[in-house]
Amino acid sequence: MTDSSTGAGAAYGDRDPDALARRAGERANPDRDQHFLVDDRVLDRIPAYLPDDADASHLLEIGGGAGALTDRLLAAVVARNGDREGDAVDAPGRLSVIERDGTFADFLREEFATAVDDGLLDVIEGDALDVDLPPFTACVANLPYGVSSEIAFRLLPEGKPLVLMFQAEFAERMVASAGESAYGRLSVSAQHYAAVEIVERVPKEAFDPQPAVESAVVRCTPRDPDYEVGDEAFFLRFVKALFTQRRKTVRNAVRNTGHISGLDEPEAVVDAADEDLLRRRPGDLDPSAFAALAELAREHGSPTEV
């Protein structure tokens, strides 16, 4: 039986994270926003957080690093292919990994050379904010925390299941409800695209080097919102604008942020809105209330592109 800690010939799913880092020959660099997840138990659980009905035929990982999560995801791909062996309709599963550090990208291709040769793995060297995303059906990733917001909002509009590691504080803001202190622009925007939930909290000790903060795994299950917006870009911009004035009433927030939302006639929106709504604060409005107010603003406020 092949020793699973020894490299390219190993089976997938039980490579030792510390051994992977040693073979990579380069430690994670916190100055480059690199914190490698090294807790085997957490690594083993993460792929299973995808929704049961998720299409896992083409997984995407962002920030492969030394490959500890890559190894687990390849195990999931192989298991999926085994379950579907002989099915001529269903395409074989595969994994694409985006890694911006050239040393780690080269290591992933070497460490998982068999998977590359078998067509199971594709390693894309580049910044996840700049490269063209490959076609994917679901994404599982331990994101670089410094750009996690930008990456998340590149992924969410794709409408695919996501299982993503974030700083715990960021995760708590994603899942917060109206009226809670953590509720804000991030909450409304994320929940516009998906049902979001924290599925696991991860201590600092699960990483090497340890980050300064606790972390959390968030599952995003795409779904259509229970409201309609006629212009999604304006809706998101309007939410952003009002939350810059979160301590103000909605009345004053609308009046004060026309330069952000692009409203030429914010006073007309105030005149058209319900008085009870105008007396509330942005943090008390759930996403559907924001959507209704945004549609009112589009109708009466003469919005222009910003």
Domains annotated on the chain, with CATH: 17-222 (3.40.50.150), 232-300 (1.10.8)
CA 40 to chain centre: 22
Confidence of residue 92 (pLDDT cuts 50, 70, 90): confident
Answer yes or no: is pLDDT of 3 > 70.
no
Q: Is 267 helix (H, G, I), strand (E, B) or coil?
A: helix
Answer yes or no: is pLDDT of 32 > 80.
no
The confidence score (pLDDT) of residue 29 equals: 72
Answer yes or no: is pLDDT of 244 > 80.
yes
| Continuous segment of H or E residues that includes residue 17 | helix 17-24
Confidence of residue 238 (pLDDT cuts 50, 70, 90): very high
Give the tokens for residue 127: 């910044």
Mean pLDDT is lowest, of 21-30, 33-42, 83-92, 260-269, for 83-92
Answer yes or no: is pLDDT of 261 > 70.
yes
Q: Is 63 annotated as a binding residue?
A: yes
- Amino acid residing at 157: P
Tens-digit pLDDT profile for residues 154-208: 999 999 999 999 999 999 999 999 999 999 999 999 999 999 999 999 999 999 8
The confidence score (pLDDT) of residue 188 equals: 97
Question: How many beta carbons lie within 10 A of that of residue 89, not counting itself?
Answer: 5
The confidence score (pLDDT) of residue 87 equals: 54
DSSP state for residue 135 in the 8-state scheme: P
The confidence score (pLDDT) of residue 306 equals: 61
Q: Is 142 annotated as a binding residue?
A: yes
- Using alpha carbons, select from 81, 158, 90 the residue that is nearest to residue 118: 81
Confidence of residue 26 (pLDDT cuts 50, 70, 90): confident
Tens-digit pLDDT profile for residues 46-89: 999 999 999 999 999 999 999 999 999 999 999 888 766 555 44
Q: Say if CB 137 and CB 160 are below 8 A apart.
A: yes
Q: Say if CB 35 and CB 63 are below 8 A apart.
A: no
The confidence score (pLDDT) of residue 151 equals: 96
Give the CA diameter of the chain: 75
Q: Between vectors from CA 122 to CA 121 and to CA 126, what angle results, nearest 5°?
A: 145
Average of per-residue pLDDT values in the chain: 92
The confidence score (pLDDT) of residue 197 equals: 98
Contacts of 267 (CB under 8 A, 6+ apart): 255
Answer yes or no: is pLDDT of 108 > 80.
yes
Q: Is 99 annotated as a binding residue?
A: yes
Confidence of residue 2 (pLDDT cuts 50, 70, 90): very low
